[in-house]
Amino acid sequence: MAMTITEKILTRAAGRAAVEPGDLVNANIDVVMCHEVTTPPAIRMLAEHGIEGVCDPDRIVITPDHFQPAKDIKSAELHKRLDDWAKKHGIKNYYRVGRAGVCHALLPEQGHIRPGEVIVGGDSHTCTYGAFGAFSTGIGSTDLAAAIATGELWFKVPPSIKFVLNGKLGKGVYSKDVILMILARIGTDGALYKAMEFVGDAVTDMSMEARMTITNMAIEAGGKSGIMNVDDVTRQYLAGRLKDNRDYTVFESDADAVYESVEEFDCDKLEPMVALPHLPSNGAAISECAGKAMDQAYIGSCTNGRIEDLRVAAEILKGRQVAIRTIVVPATPDIWHQADKEGLFDVFYEAGCVVSAPTCGACLGGFMGILAGGERCVSTTNRNFVGRMGSPKSEVYLASPATAAASAVEGKLTDPRRYMS
Amino acid sequence: MSKAHVYKRDHINTDEIIPARYLNTDDEAELAKHCMEDIDAEFVNKVAEGDIIVAGDDFGCGSSREHAVWALRGARVQTVIANSFARIFYRNAIDNGFYLIESPQAAEKINNGDELEIDYKTGRIKNLTAGIDIDFKPLPEFALEIIRAGGLLEHIKTKKR
Ligand code: SF4
């Protein structure tokens, strides 16, 4: 039977001969991602149900990230509950402050994500890991508790939509612009319950970092997961990085696999995109919205806080001054360290930016850059719902790091291509 | 007697079911006081034990907060009948032992205040007021097992024993 990559991964995880969309399966979970917001309630529920013990401590990876280092007493209590529990169960993959980073940037970087595996996390953007040819999805606290206790979880096999990204991205246009274009076309429920499979020349050309920006935002279309094929770029990224020497299996969709639909996109003529308030699907080409005054620029998050993103921003900011508050948040300690070694912090400092420790911070309106009523922020994050980064009267404009950096220089939405030689 | 509370709308989101300002607690009774508050502030005063909510497409879209399910259950709502449900809400409901009914024609055949009776085994909604029956596909055995156990964690506990 012809199957998609997603169906093949779930077939193996469920120990079946085959699966098809709509089937309910019990799948073995290879990695459970935990952070300090949704995991403490899961731990509490397990205790309340008298379920002691963890199925396999080595399959759990923990990183506090949303409010780390602890921003206030309440978040410190959450961190403490996580600490105590991790200690009690001997969970060795625990990234403490100093090694902790934004979960979806940290896990792939530290070699916890393998092709062909099933990964769940108590966070809606867990779909990011699909860039590695893995099935990966976000879950609530009860599911998280179940995955921790049993190492398995039920799933309804999703139908797949194939997104064929043709062509070559022009100068100043990035994978963030591609996903904003896709969202603008299909809407916030355009892929409800579906696996979004991304293929095509434009994807093949992308680095792993760039690919993750796309799968990261699958949930913004209501998708259950986003997924991409494994190729040499993937293999090179994984080489020498994987935490266990355990082999991985590469699955590929059969040529005659069944898709619910196939959507083609031409990336050749794509312009830098901005998602206007208050939906990620509210995309506009920069030519339609340039000039809108901003109060803050935010460069960071699981979507665009990786080293490549910081390099792009630094290239534009080099030798220039920012006109508005500009906050740069490297997503993990390794990214932070690398940026430091490359002299990017000098560039940010000289341009007048502030650089923080790795954290989710202001992405979810936590801390480190909250907006006041009436303020506008151009941000490299993934959601611009009402009140997402602070006051319900503030506005968030989603864009690539290049667009955010160029806009920081001018204090208004700006086409980054003007700053590129 | 189970009364229908009909909201002929699509995309009723978790923010409307339980607004974010009440998420500082996971106490079900407390959440229940604010159930459906941002779509119908009077809902909690109208709802009686066993009543049923009826809505259009994509019920429960938005964030992954399980609080939405806890609020409905705390308000003693028997079930929600909708054309379709958002993915994470649907999962969270089953995980919490809360039965949801997906029935694409129900919203058109049920009016606000109608008396309903539900046969979960055969998959039939009896609209006693209108005198019509509406069929739905019962949840698969897999999900029923979880619901009968009283939720996913109870289910796991029973299996482990
Ligand atoms: S960076 Fe933002 S979107 Fe990503 S995990 Fe953190 S809060 Fe969520």
Domain ranges, ordered by start, for chain B:
2-160
Q: Is the dihedral of CA B150, B156, B157, B160 positive or negative?
A: positive
Cβ-contact A410, A378 below 8 angstroms: no
The CATH number of A5-265, from 3.30.499.10, 2.40.50.100, 1.20.1080.10, 2.30.40.10, is 3.30.499.10
* pLDDT exceeds 70 at position B8: yes
The closest of A304, A299, A345, A359 to A324, measured between CA atoms, is A299
Q: Which residues of B touch A24 (CB under 8 A)?
A: 140, 142-143
Task: Name which of A124, A141, A146 is nearest B66 (Cβ-Cβ).
Answer: A141
The full set of domain ranges for chain A reads 5-265, 274-419
* Residue in A with minimal Cα distance to B87: A193
**Residue B57 DSSP class:** S
DSSP assignment of A172-226 equals T--HHHHHHHHHHHH-TTTTTT-EEEEESHHHHTS-HHHHHHHHHTGGGGT-SEE
* Interchain contact, B87 vs A124, CB within 8 Å: no
Q: Tell me what pLDDT residue B61 has.
A: 78
Tokens encoding A53: 């013990």
Report pTM: 0.89
Cα B5 to Cα A19, B36, B80: the distances in Å are 38, 11, 9
Q: How far is CA B22 from the centre of its chain?
A: 19
Q: What is the pLDDT of residues B52-83, one digit of tens each?
A: 999 998 898 767 778 899 999 999 999 999 99
Looking at residue B158, what is its pLDDT? 81
Segment A282-314, tens digit of pLDDT: 999 999 999 999 999 999 999 999 999 999 999
Walk along chain A (421 residues) in steps of 10 and give the mean pLDDT of each run: 97 97 93 93 92 93 95 89 96 97 98 98 94 96 95 95 98 98 94 95 98 96 96 96 88 98 97 95 97 98 98 98 98 98 98 97 91 97 87 93 98 97 78
Other CB atoms within a 10 A radius of the CB of residue B7 amount to 20
Closest residue by Cα to residue A330 from A351, A313, A316: A313
For B149, counting Cβ atoms within 10 Å of its Cβ (0-12 exposed, 13-18 middle, 19+ buried), the class is middle
Is the C-beta atom of A285 inside 6 A of ligand 1? no
pLDDT at residue number A233: 98
CATH of domain A274-419: 3.30.499.10
Regarding the beta carbon of A100 and ligand 1, being less than 6 Å apart is answered no
Has residue B160 got a pLDDT over 80?
Answer: no
Q: List the Cα angle A262/A265/A267 in 5-degree steps.
A: 155
What is the reported pLDDT for A188?
86
Q: Which of A32, A28, A33 has its CA nearest to residue A12?
A: A28
Chain-chain contact of B65 with A150 (C-beta, under 8 angstroms): no
Q: Evaluate whether A374 touches A394 at the Cβ level (below 8 Å).
A: yes
Whether the predicted pLDDT of B42 surpasses 80? yes
- The separation between the first and the last C-alpha atoms of chain A, rounded to the nearest angstrom, is 51
Contact A140 B95 (CB under 8 A): yes
pLDDT the model gives residue A182: 98
pLDDT of residue B114: 97
Residue nearest to atom 1 of ligand 1 (CA): A301
Cβ distance of A142 and B160 shorter than 8 Å: no
CATH superfamily entry for domain B2-160: Aconitase, domain 4 (3.20.19.10)
Task: Please tell me the predicted confidence (pLDDT) of residue B142.
Answer: 81
pLDDT tens track for A100-128? 999 999 999 999 999 999 999 999 899 99
Domains A5-265 and A274-419 are alike in CATH topology:
yes
For the cut 80, the answer to whether the pLDDT of residue B21 exceeds it is no
Ligand 1 centroid from CA A301, angstroms: 6
Nearest CA in chain B to A123: B64
What percent of chain B has a predicted confidence (pLDDT) above 70? 93
Please give the residue that has the higher pLDDT: either B45 or A38: B45
**Substitution site in A66, A329, A385 for ligand 1 pocket (most atoms within 8 Å of beta carbon):** A66
pLDDT level of residue B117 (50, 70, 90 thresholds):
very high
Nearest residue, CB atoms, A146 vs list B11, B65, B152: B152
Are B87 and A192 inside 8 Å of each other by CB? yes
Alpha-carbon distances of A156 from B20, B140, B144, rounded to whole Å: 28, 11, 14
Q: Which helix (H) or strand (E) holds B81?
A: strand B79-82
